[in-house]
Amino acid sequence: MNFNSGREETVINHQSSIINPMGPEEQARVLKKRARALAGKTAGAEGHGGYMQVVEFLLVRERYALELPHIREVYPLKDLTPLPGTPDFVLGIINVRGEILSIIDMKRFFDLPERKGLTPMNQVIILESDEMAFGILADEILGTRSVPMSAIQKSLPTLTGIRAEYLLGVTGEGIVILDGTRILSDNSLLVQ
């Protein structure tokens, strides 16, 4: 007779409930919150002469970038469903692993000239905060890079109108760094 087998099973079950007392949704929420907190500490440290990590992309031959902490993922543009009755800058919705996300065409939102049609190079940059998640359409993803904080100018006189409201800065290379916090907190981008 083996008295230890039942005891080991009880210990294992007890340990697994101690290790993960939360459900999967609660655990995902806590992990996202921790990741944002860690990303914020890194961004704060970079603010003292360090670097900003960004995803660089094209919109009508102009180079733009968004800080990595605001980006959940880059996803291929596929199975786009147009939404009638929405503002012109709302391109439509896509299904990303069971989650329906609206797609914003930043070219239309910023009143930039449009290229004709969508291409296989188009990608969706999915932005996410605690309050919302949506995708922005990029003509092409150029990659990730580190931008020295000292190389970022606060504004350019040529960037006026709505683009200036969402501007975090411009690099010496002409990369327009958008303010992800401002974009994610703007209620005019909500599709209801």
Q: What is the CATH number of the domain that holds 159?
A: 2.40.50.180
Question: Higher-confidence residue: 42 or 189?
Answer: 189
pLDDT the model gives residue 2: 52
- pLDDT tens sequence across 31-75: 777 776 665 544 444 444 699 999 999 998 889 999 999 999 999
Mean pLDDT calculated for residue range 83-108: 92
Q: Within its chain, how far is the Cα of 65 from the centroid?
A: 11
Quick check: is 89 in a domain? yes
Among 5-14, 42-51, 88-97, 134-143, name the one with the lowest average pLDDT.
5-14
Quick check: is 13 in a domain? no
Quick check: is 155 in a domain? yes
| Burial zone of 115 (CB within 10 Å; 0-12 exposed, 13-18 middle, 19+ buried) | middle
Quick check: is 18 in a domain? no
Quick check: is 84 in a domain? yes
- Separation between Cα atoms, residue 19 and residue 36, nearest integer Å: 22
DSSP 88: T
Q: Is the pLDDT of residue 157 over 90?
A: no
Quick check: is 35 in a domain? no
Whether the CB-CB separation of 108 and 89 falls below 8 Å is answered with yes
List for the chain the helix, strand, coil content (%; round to 5). 30, 35, 35
- pLDDT tens sequence across 13-28: 444 444 556 777 887 7
- Separation between Cα atoms, residue 156 and residue 167, nearest integer Å: 10
Domain enclosing residue 128, as ranges: 50-189
| Burial zone of 74 (CB within 10 Å; 0-12 exposed, 13-18 middle, 19+ buried) | middle
- Split into its structural domains, the chain has a count of 1
